[in-house]
């Protein structure tokens, strides 16, 4: 009679343990290599935050009649890109103005403008000259009172927002489009003395 032999199930466990150990080691090595690649890339590129500053602000052609506003809001906003290797494509930008009172922002946009797309090289400062026009803009009772009071006091507190679709460029590589939110507030703008405006840095967020 021929003898038949079969491997005991416990004998296969060491092989499985070794295979599992190899898989874990390979995964750890891959994670370390990816981490090193990211660190080296960051050290080479040295990304730095883009700084946006409202350098000038003025109001022209102002009139307020029967809860309707006519005015031209002019701003010079400097976009400073200090990075030595990152350039930026601004594919679309929308600028808007809202009234503020005691650091609270009105829900109503009183003027807006679409800014032309542009490319910003590395180590560059680009100045955006914006002209946002409120033409026969209807106001709520609260906004009307706030603007009328501001005109009497000689200064108005406003918030300028820029929402931009951007792409970052490093060498030949370009990132996917991202949305950059730029918020400049509070801006204290004089109706009669625009040269007295104090420049203000803007906050930024990205998604």
pLDDT at residue number 9: 53
Domain count of the chain?
1
pLDDT of res. 107:
83
Do 99 and 60 form a contact (C-beta atoms < 8 A)? no
How high is the pLDDT of residue 195?
73
Q: What is the pLDDT of residue 43?
A: 46
pLDDT value of residue 41? 54
**Domain coverage including residue 183:** 51-206
Position 117 in a domain:
yes
The parts of the chain modelled with pLDDT lower than 70 are 1-15, 36-47, 102-103
**Separation of alpha carbons 63 and 135, rounded Å:** 10
- The rounded radius of gyration (Å) of the Cα atoms in the chain is 29
In-domain check, residue 24: no
The CATH code of the domain that includes 161 is 2.60.40
């Amino acid at each position: 009679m021929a003898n038949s032999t079969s491997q005991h199930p416990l004998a296969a466990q060491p092989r499985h343990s070794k295979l599992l150990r190899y898989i874990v080691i390979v995964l750890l090595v891959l994670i370390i290599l990816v981490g090193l690649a990211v660190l080296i890339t960051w050290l080479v590129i040295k990304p730095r935050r883009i700084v946006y500053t409202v350098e000038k602000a003025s109001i022209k052609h102002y009139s307020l009649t029967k809860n309707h506003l006519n005015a031209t809001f002019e701003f010079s906003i400097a976009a400073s890109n200090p990075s030595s290797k990152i350039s930026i494509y601004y594919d679309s930008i929308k600028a808007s103005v809202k009234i503020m009172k005691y650091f609270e922002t009105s829900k109503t946009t009183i003027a807006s403008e679409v800014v032309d797309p542009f490319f910003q090289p590395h180590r560059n400062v680009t100045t955006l000259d914006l002209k946002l026009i409120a033409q026969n803009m209807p106001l709520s009772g609260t906004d009307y009172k706030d603007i009328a009071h501001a005109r009497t006091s000689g200064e108005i507190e406003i918030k300028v927002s820029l929402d931009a679709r951007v792409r970052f460029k490093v060498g030949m590589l370009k990132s996917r489009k991202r949305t950059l939110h730029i918020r400049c507030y509070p801006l204290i703008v004089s109706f009669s003395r625009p040269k007295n405006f104090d420049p203000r840095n803007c906050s930024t967020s990205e998604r």
